[in-house]
């Protein structure tokens, strides 16, 4: 008689699975998915989640540059005022004038160009730090920073964490203020040698063509790092000394998951400063671009989780002249087709960052179609209107994938010879987990789909090494399921905070100053990057984590200027504006006494 384990418990694995795996413990996919989707994300805000026209605190800049709470007002997408430094206004103006000169432009180009020329590639098979010599190019980058930014390296305390991680401390005069943390990473994804002929300029040339700085890492993320450390160098040249302490952490293996770099840096800071010890954290992430006829900046306040499902199938081998009805590769293929034919249900949840960004589009988008605008506004209290919003927006596969949990079959292996039955076959499926879901729900979704096929094909089915199902007849093979990575969705950064208002006001001030504008010319709405950053190790350090690099996502005429691609590049105009952003952010944060 077939046996399904009813009372087995599984290893903790981050609470990936329920302890009781009886058939009755596995409700229908529709029921379990509905329960998951009905669980709201708790987003901190004033007012009730029962209505989407929420009450938020609006702020103004008083004469002493502190953020003052005013009356609560009702708005779909409340906006902060433009925030410029007050105490250090003359300094800020002088720095801005200097950054507008051609001389500074040349300096900034040289900064990023030189950084790109140092090959700091991260490979998936790198060995331990101190053993694998491929890590050692990071030392060349250290030397480059020391030679290029002498004031930073004379005024700030520098510690090397796990050999290559860089931790700078810019000590402030008021130790009662929480420090702020600025992050970046200086490693890059490798360049495929087969694509070298496709590059307009050699990938590590750092070539400047008059508009763009070309090369691997120019966009991701050496431009962010150079903008951060460059802003500090400029402020030091002008004699600025902070009141608030600023900590700067540069990781060296973000493209490989950050285990050796960001994790070690985070552990060092946690041991020194403790839980929730930083006022806010800024790392790489979103920028700004025109959306529905309005320029909108989208600092990331959330991140999806991620998980790899590892599927391993073993079956008897033999000569291919006498094959069974299904080979291991055939069965594995059926399992993967089962996954792809049953994608995760996707719904837009009220109260999530994505829904709040839609409110910004409805409230401020100059050219948003009236049908979509009305549907977004009506969706506050109407499920039918929310369904209409989904029907419109889910026509864009990119937007739909941003909202829901995704699955991508990325790796498959099996077989060694054309006339030998494959004894083994395995695959890796990568999941990016919606902010409304969890690793546990994602794992259960996969197992729910695989269990019926294990029964159909007569496979012994084990999950994390514990047997879930044993066939009653002849066993045709073994199906093993495990997961790796297992990163839960990130905690949501509240947007009704002084930190979010300060960041929003800084974005607006930078945008205006770079273009010599006045007034409100850019909208700020909550965003979410499509991937994960090094901040996944920093959750315990602050409740206010923003993934944002102030650059114009639509500024380049090069359609292949993005990260991880052939012809990666970054515009000098974006570089100058990003440096200005960090100058403004540091000065604004230094003057605030709201956190």
Give the residue numbers of the binding site: 185, 220, 255, 283, 564
- Average pLDDT estimate for 144-159: 98
**Comparing C-alpha atoms, which of 595, 590, 501 is closest to residue 242?**
590
Mean of pLDDT values over 354-363: 96
Tokens of 565: 């691609």
- The length of the chain in residues reads 595
Other Cβ atoms less than 10 A from the Cβ of 433: the count is 25
Q: Which of 254, 363, 460, 568 is catalytic?
A: 254
DSSP string, 6-23: SS-----TTT-S-S---G
pLDDT band at 485 (very low <50, low <70, confident <90, very high): confident
Sign of CA dihedral 102, 107, 108, 113: positive
In DSSP notation, 423-465 reads SEEEEEEEEEE-TT--HHHHHHHHHHHHHHHHHHHTEEEEETT
d(Cα 533, Cα 368) in Å, to the nearest integer? 31
Q: Tokens 């302890």 label which residue?
A: 19
Q: Do residues 416 and 447 touch, judged by C-beta distance below 8 A? A: no
Specify whether 64 is catalytic: no
Convert the pLDDT of each residue in 230-267 to its tens digit: 999 999 999 999 999 999 999 999 999 999 999 999 99
pLDDT, mean over the chain: 88
| pLDDT tens digits for range 296-325 | 999 999 999 999 999 999 999 999 999 999
Tokens of 464: 């994390």
The contacts of residue 369 (CB under 8 Å, 6+ apart) are: none
Candidate list 187, 253, 356, 488, residue with the active-site label: 187
591 is catalytic: no
Extract the annotated binding site for Zn(2+).
Answer: 185, 220, 255, 283, 564
Residue 359 has φ and ψ, to the nearest 5°, of: -60, -40
Give me the pLDDT at residue 554, please. 60
Which CATH number fits the domain 112-299+501-591, given the four candidates 3.40.630.30, 3.40.630.10, 3.90.1150.10, 3.30.70.380? 3.40.630.10
Cα-based angle 93, 94, 99 (whole degrees, multiple of 5): 95
Query: How does pLDDT run across 20-77, given as a tens digit for each residue?
Result: 333 333 333 323 322 332 232 222 222 222 222 222 333 333 434 333 333 323 478 9
Q: Give the pLDDT of residue 48.
A: 26
Q: Which CATH number fits domain 3-38+304-346+404-487: 3.30.70.360, 1.10.10.60, 3.40.50.10490, 3.40.640.10?
A: 3.30.70.360
Q: What is the pLDDT of residue 33?
A: 29
As a whole number of angstroms, the distance between CA 371 and CA 367 comes to 11
On the question of a cis peptide bond just before residue 315, with omega within 30 degrees of 0, the verdict is no
Q: What is the pTM of this model?
A: 0.86
pLDDT digits (tens, 9 = 90+) for 87-133: 999 999 999 999 999 999 999 999 999 999 999 999 999 999 999 99
- Give me the pLDDT at residue 396, please: 93
Dihedral angle computed from the Cα positions of residues 80, 82, 88 and 92, in that order, rounded to the nearest 10 degrees: 140
pLDDT at position 306: 96
Query: In the chain, where are the structural domains located?
Result: 3-38+304-346+404-487, 112-299+501-591
């Amino acid at each position: 008689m077939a046996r399904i384990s009813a009372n087995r418990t599984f290893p903790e694995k981050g609470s990936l699975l329920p302890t009781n795996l009886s058939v009755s413990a596995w409700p229908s996919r529709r029921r379990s998915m509905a329960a998951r989707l009905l669980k709201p994300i708790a987003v901190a805000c004033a007012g009730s989640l029962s209505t989407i026209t929420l009450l938020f605190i609006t702020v103004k800049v008083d004469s002493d540059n502190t953020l003052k709470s005013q009356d609560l007002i009702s708005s779909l997408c409340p906006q902060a005022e433009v925030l410029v430094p007050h105490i250090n206004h003359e300094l800020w103006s002088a720095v801005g004038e200097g950054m507008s000169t051609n001389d500074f432009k040349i300096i900034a180009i040289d900064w990023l160009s030189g950084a790109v020329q140092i090959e700091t590639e991260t490979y998936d098979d790198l060995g331990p730090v101190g053993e694998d010599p491929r890590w050692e190019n990071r030392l060349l980058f250290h030397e480059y920073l020391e030679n290029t930014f002498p004031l930073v390296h004379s005024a700030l305390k520098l510690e090397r964490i796990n050999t290559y991680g860089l931790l700078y401390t810019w000590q402030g005069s008021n130790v009662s203020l929480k420090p702020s943390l600025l992050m970046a990473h200086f490693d890059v994804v490798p360049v495929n040698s087969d694509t070298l002929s496709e590059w307009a300029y050699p990938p590590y040339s750092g070539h400047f063509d008059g508009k763009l700085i070309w090369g691997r890492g120019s966009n991701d993320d050496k431009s962010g790092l150079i903008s951060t450390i460059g802003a500090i160098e400029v402020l030091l040249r002008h004699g600025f000394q902070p009141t608030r302490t600023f900590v700067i952490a540069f990781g060296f293996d973000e493209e490989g998951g950050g285990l050796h770099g960001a994790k070690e840096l985070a552990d060092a800071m946690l041991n020194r400063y403790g839980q929730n010890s930083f006022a806010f954290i800024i790392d790489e992430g979103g920028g700004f671009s025109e959306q529905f006829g309005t320029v909108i900046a989208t600092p990331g306040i959330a991140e999806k989780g991620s998980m790899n499902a590892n599927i391993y199938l073993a079956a008897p081998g033999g000569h291919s002249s006498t094959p069974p009805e299904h080979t291991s590769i055939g069965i594995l293929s059926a399992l993967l087709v089962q996954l792809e034919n049953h994608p995760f249900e996707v719904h837009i949840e009220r109260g999530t960052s994505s829904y709040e960004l839609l409110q910004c589009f409805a409230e401020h988008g100059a050219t948003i179609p009236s049908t979509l605008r009305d549907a977004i506004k009506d969706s506050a209290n109407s499920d039918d209107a929310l369904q209409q919003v989904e029907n419109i927006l889910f026509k864009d596969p990119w937007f739909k994938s941003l909202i829901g949990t995704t699955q991508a079959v990325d790796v498959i292996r099996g077989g060694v010879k054309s006339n030998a039955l494959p004894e083994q076959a395995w695959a890796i499926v990568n999941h990016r987990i919606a902010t409304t879901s969890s690793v546990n729900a994602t794992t259960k979704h996969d197992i729910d789909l695989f269990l019926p096929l294990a029964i159909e094909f007569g496979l012994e089915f084990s999950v994390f090494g514990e047997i879930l199902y044993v066939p009653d007849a002849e066993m045709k093979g073994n199906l093993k399921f495990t997961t790796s990575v297992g990163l839960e969705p990130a905690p949501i950064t509240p947007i009704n905070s002084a930190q979010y208002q300060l960041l929003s006001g800084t974005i607006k001030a930078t945008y205006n100053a770079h273009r010599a504008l006045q007034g409100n010319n850019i909208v700020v709405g909550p965003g979410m990057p499509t991937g994960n950053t090094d901040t996944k190790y920093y959750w315990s350090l602050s409740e206010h984590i923003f993934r944002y690099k102030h650059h114009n996502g639509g500024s380049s005429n090069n359609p292949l200027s993005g990260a991880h691609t052939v012809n990666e590049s970054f515009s000098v105009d974006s570089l100058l504006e990003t440096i200005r952003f960090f100058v403004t952010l540091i000065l604004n944060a230094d003057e605030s006494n709201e956190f």
